[in-house]
Amino acid sequence: MKDRGNIIDLLNSKDSDELKALIDDTESIRRQKIGSKIYLRGLIEFSNYCDRDCLYCGVRNSNSRVVRYKMDQNEIIAIIKSAYQQGYRSVCLQSGELDSTAQINWLTDIVKSIKDISSGTDKQGIGITLCVGELNYRQYLKLWEAGAHRYLLRIESSDRDLFNKLHPPAQRYEKRIECLEALKDIGFQVGTGVMIGLPGQNAEHLTRDLEFFQALDVDMLGMGPYIPHSDAPLSRTKVRSILDPYTTTLKMIALARSLMPEINMVASTALQTIDPQGLKMGIKAGANIVMPVLTPPRYRDQYLLYKEKKHTALQTIESELEEIGYQVKHDQWGDSAHYFRRLGRDCPNG
Ligand code: 5AD
């Protein structure tokens, strides 16, 4: 096992042989521990209204260039029914932050309707991941009781100072930690993650991020390169990251896989956007989840958290992954094996 010094050196290294060796080593550990199955989450970005003002994000509240939309319940359910027909057994509902009671009630109804979608033979139905930001305990509980069972809330950076440089003062680091703890306490499979290549971020920050993920005992991770958005203020900073966002993301995925062998980890859309090989390399480095975007094309230009966001069709994903020896699994939830281990239960993934 690598110690802290080794990890920092690896993250700082510009040696491509070292990167290749890290990925190759991790790939063999991964094949032993979790095999070569890849699970899908159909991503539905159902609304871009957002109360928050994250300094890096294209749909931040103050970006007046964004045309705001919110899909209606029928539209969301129709997309999910069609995804179900295509073999998807898990969806991820994502939006800007919404914390009014009316919004939560609306989302709770949608979660309940999704739970009703299943064929006669398949009682399991559809697994639901939510990614709708910082809510209070009662609101999370309500969504859990309605049937959502995974939740993604990235910490963005586990370093308080860096976090504060990415968010306005009203968005507090402590609140985000409280939310992650609430989600865990309720029983969700909990996912977090960071952006990589942020202005001012260095290898020490990322090493501490890995320690943070381990201390929180996360079930899922989503890490992707930071991609500046010209309408977001962070894109105008003169501060640079000394780390290359693409290769450093691959290293972080590989390191996370070797430190936390049974978690679920996504080859993020941002990773696919920043390099044409991003999907394949993210999977080789250790990711086992892909989230194809199911948001209808007419909304996609209004859901650009960063510019030039890439959309890859499911068939392309499947054939690219088959070429490197991985199989996309249809008809399975693909829950985090780590979650079941943490709770001392048998993992249904087998
Ligand atoms: N570059 C990369 N990722 C971004 N996100 C938001 N803005 C950007 C950006 N400019 C990521 C954040 C957030 C997730 C939904 O999208 O990490 O948690």
Asked if the model's pLDDT at residue 350 lies above 50, the reply is no
Mutate-to-test residue for ligand 1 from 305, 306, 309, highest number of ligand atoms within 8 A of CB = 305
Could you read off the pLDDT of 167-212 as tens digits, one per residue? 999 999 999 999 999 999 999 999 999 999 999 999 999 999 999 9
CA of 324 to the centre of ligand 1 (A): 28
Tokens encoding 66: 């964004």
Residue 344 CA, ligand 1 centroid: distance in Å: 33
Question: What local confidence, expressed as pLDDT, does residue 48 receive?
Answer: 97
**In angstroms, what is the span from residue 57 Cα to ligand 1's centroid?**
6
Q: Where are any strands of DSSP class E within 268-321?
A: 289-290
> Is any atom of ligand 1 closer than 6 Å to the C-beta of 307?
no
Q: Which amino acid is at 142?
A: K
CB 234 less than 6 A from any atom of ligand 1 = no
Contact 251, 259 (CB under 8 A): no
Q: How far is the CA of 54 from the centre of ligand 1 (A)?
A: 9
pLDDT at 293: 96
- Which atom of ligand 1 sits closest to the CA of residue 194? 17
Ligand 1 pocket, mutate which of 43, 56, 271 (most atoms under 8 A from CB): 56
- pLDDT band, very low/low/confident/very high, at 121 (cuts 50, 70, 90): low
User: Does ligand 1 come within 6 angstroms of the Cβ of 60?
Assistant: no
Positive or negative: CA dihedral 218, 157, 282, 125: positive
Does the CB atom of residue 226 touch ligand 1 within 6 A? yes
Instruction: Answer yes or no: is the C-beta of 305 below 6 A from any ligand 1 atom.
Output: yes
Q: What's the pLDDT at 1?
A: 64
Ligand 1: centre distance to CA 139 (Å) = 23
pLDDT for residue 50 is more than 70: yes
Question: Could you tell me if 314 and 244 are in contact, meaning their C-beta atoms sit under 8 angstroms apart?
Answer: no
100-134 as b/e: b if 16+ CB within 10 A: eeebbeebbebbebbeeeeeeeeeebbbbbbbbbb
Ligand 1 atom at minimum distance from 235 CA: 10
Query: Is-above-0.75 flag for pTM?
Result: yes
Which atom of ligand 1 lies closest to the CA of 234? Answer: 10
pLDDT bucket at 343, cuts 50 / 70 / 90: very high
CA angle 162, 149, 322 (to 5 degrees): 80
Torsion of CA 110, 114, 115, 117, to 10 degrees: 150
Give yes or no for residue 266 CB within 6 A of ligand 1: no
Q: Whole-number mean pLDDT of the chain? A: 95
**Mean pLDDT value across residues 281-308:** 94
**DSSP per-residue codes, 307-319:** TT-----HHHHHH
Q: Return the pLDDT at 123.
A: 66
The residue whose C-alpha atom lies closest to atom 18 belonging to ligand 1 is: 154
The band of 120, judged by pLDDT with boundaries at 50, 70 and 90, is: low
Q: Does ligand 1 have an atom closer than 6 angstroms to the CB of 56? A: yes
The verdict on the CB of residue 154 being under 6 Å from ligand 1 is yes
97-101, 120-124, 157-161: least confidently modelled range: 120-124
